[in-house]
A and B are shown apart, each in its own frame.
Chain A
Amino acid sequence: MSDRPAILEVRDLHAWYGESHILHGVNFAVGEGEVVSLLGRNGAGKTTTLRAIMGLVGRRTGAIKHRGDEIVSLTPDRIARRGIAYCPEERGIFASLTVEENLMLPPVVQPGGLPVEEIYELFPNLKERRTGASGTRLSGGEQQMLAIGRILRTGAKLLLLDEPTEGLAPVIVQQIGASVRRLRDLGFTILLVEQNFHFAARLADRHYVIEHGVVVDRYSRDDINQRMGELNKLLGV
């Protein structure tokens, strides 16, 4: 466990999609200013964990504490208003909106968001393509940058990023990695779901491994090198 105060604390979280019981008691915590990754094989329940935190699953039980307040029974919009932002796996770029409209879409929920100029500094590609084109005309990498960029404006301090590197070229992955590091320096707290273990290993302070809907193990940054063998086995790398 981190020595910093927990911004998010998840206890015995269960979640269902319709009849299927996906999460079977997930426990973990994220400290203020940390980068924490959830690792695990396909279908282990990582994405569901993020969606459950946002209130985007059919039913959930257990406890989710954000800055000490219980949010497990709140609706997604109320959760977002508390300063939690979500960047989905499929990126969720809107085809009927221009790049700029996509960027400006999420409403500001708290003061202290990044100014648009700073976001363009972080992702210069977006600035070039901001007007005219529909958001989905962007390349995969640019769409990912847009998906992350737009939630930085809102003032949310806790970012839930779902597989930000999926399907991207190595050079883009590097660029995204650099941005995430910069975000940590700016004081954002990041909960990251990743398949790409090497990407996560370089970024995250701590890692949780999820299997069959429960957290089965956790590693600190320093543990990783020593325990690489068992981790590879868990992740089936």
Chain B
Amino acid sequence: MQTILGIPAPLLFGQLLIGLINGAFYALLSLGLAVIFGVLNVINFAHGALYMMGAFVGWFLLTHLGIGYWPALVLAPLVVGAIGIVIERTMLSRLYDLDHLYGLLLTFGLALIIEGLFINYYGVSGQPYAPPQALQGGYNLGFMFLPAYRGWVIVASLIVCFGTWLLIERTQLGAYLRAAVERPELVRAFGINVPLMMTLTYGFAVALAGFAGILAAPVYTVSPIMGQNLIIVVFAIVVIGGLGSILGSIVTGLGIGLVEGLTRTFWPEASSTVVFVIMAIVLILRPHGLFGRPRE
């Protein structure tokens, strides 16, 4: 069998593919964080809790209303997005004039409250959620067995990430957003309702988290603490990619997934640490991140 650095080649390819799957989740979540930071200048600590809510909405729809995976794939992001809009309108929007530490503290507190409530009602062990009938089973790729659902995860999240990127980089609406990141006041003086745009942006970005949540439900356990560990890694990814950089967050998300996959092969114990080591190195060498622009 062919080997690379002492690892059988098929195993290595398998690990890279799996890394890409995790990277797809990272990309979806870090993309939302980057958009929120860019447009609202808020470090959204509630992102992990909203991701968890996306999964729970899916579970709730299935268990209590008999609504299956495919409708949930649309409904869960909508519900989470609507919750996000309420959060932005009633709380976050009052903090824009203050230091962004306040936004961080508010969303951090919200995350604790949301997760605490869910733990209280549902416990931490989690709830079962099966993949849809059409995506059960898998494909034998020769070097590994790829569960069909995981293949779908890559496709779905790449489509959504790429679509979001197109929306932001290639449309008039995206131009408003990018302009509002730089000079919200001036964009408003051109006649654009920037506060409304911020509300919708937050709603959209947390809907992305909800989408990642429902996408994750059949893969990971649907549990109130599912967002806790993930969100810290995702923050590190946003820092590595460059705060507020859209493309940076997508590319770094996928890249970190790959690096983690490799680490799990060569040094499994370090697999949850490697992202933070990379973050430290990036912060020392390029404080504004790999894709970020230095702030004036």
Complex: A in contact with B (CB within 8 Å): yes
Residues of A within 8 A of B (CB): 54-56, 75-77, 79-81, 85-86, 88, 92, 94-97, 101, 104-107, 109, 151, 154
- Among B179, B185, B191, the residue within 8 A (CB) of A56 is B185
A107 near B191: Cβ-Cβ < 8 Å: yes
| CA of A96 to CA of B168, assembled, Å | 11
Give the 9 A-B residue pairs with the shortest CB-CB distance, closest first.
A80-B191, A106-B190, A76-B188, A96-B178, A92-B186, A76-B189, A94-B179, A81-B191, A86-B189
| CA of A95 to CA of B292, assembled, Å | 13
Chain B residues with Cβ below 8 Å from A107 are: 190-192
| CA of A77 to CA of B188, assembled, Å | 5
Chain B residues with Cβ below 8 Å from A151 are: 190
Count residues of B near A (Cβ-Cβ below 8 Å): 19
B193 on the A face (CB < 8 A): yes
B176 near A96: Cβ-Cβ < 8 Å: no
* Chain B stretch 178-218: residues in CB contact (< 8 A) with chain A: 178-179, 181-183, 185-194
A77 near B175: Cβ-Cβ < 8 Å: no
| CA of A47 to CA of B206, assembled, Å | 39
A217: shortest Cβ distance to chain B, in Å? Answer: 29
Chain A residues with Cβ below 8 Å from B178 are: 94, 96-97
Chain B residues with Cβ below 8 Å from A88 are: 186
B111: shortest Cβ distance to chain A, in Å? Answer: 30
- Among B179, B186, B188, B194, the residue within 8 A (CB) of A97 is B179
B190 near A80: Cβ-Cβ < 8 Å: yes
A49: shortest Cβ distance to chain B, in Å? Answer: 14
| CA of A88 to CA of B187, assembled, Å | 11
B191 near A94: Cβ-Cβ < 8 Å: no
Chain A residues with Cβ below 8 Å from B187 are: 105
Chain B residues with Cβ below 8 Å from A55 are: 189
B172 on the A face (CB < 8 A): yes
| CA of A172 to CA of B194, assembled, Å | 34
A101 near B175: Cβ-Cβ < 8 Å: yes
Closest B residue by C-beta to A107:
B191
B175 near A97: Cβ-Cβ < 8 Å: yes
Can you give 5 A-B contacts (C-beta < 8 A)?
A55-B189, A76-B189, A86-B190, A105-B187, A154-B191
Closest A residue by C-beta to B188:
A76
Give the interface centre of B176, B183, B191 by most chain A CB atoms within 10 Å.
Answer: B191
- Among A75, A80, A95, A101, the residue within 8 A (CB) of B182 is A95
Chain A residues with Cβ below 8 Å from B179 are: 94, 96-97, 105
| CA of A85 to CA of B187, assembled, Å | 11
| CA of A154 to CA of B175, assembled, Å | 16
| CA of A92 to CA of B181, assembled, Å | 12
Chain B residues with Cβ below 8 Å from A94 are: 178-179, 182-183
Chain A residues with Cβ below 8 Å from B182 are: 94-96
| CA of A97 to CA of B186, assembled, Å | 14
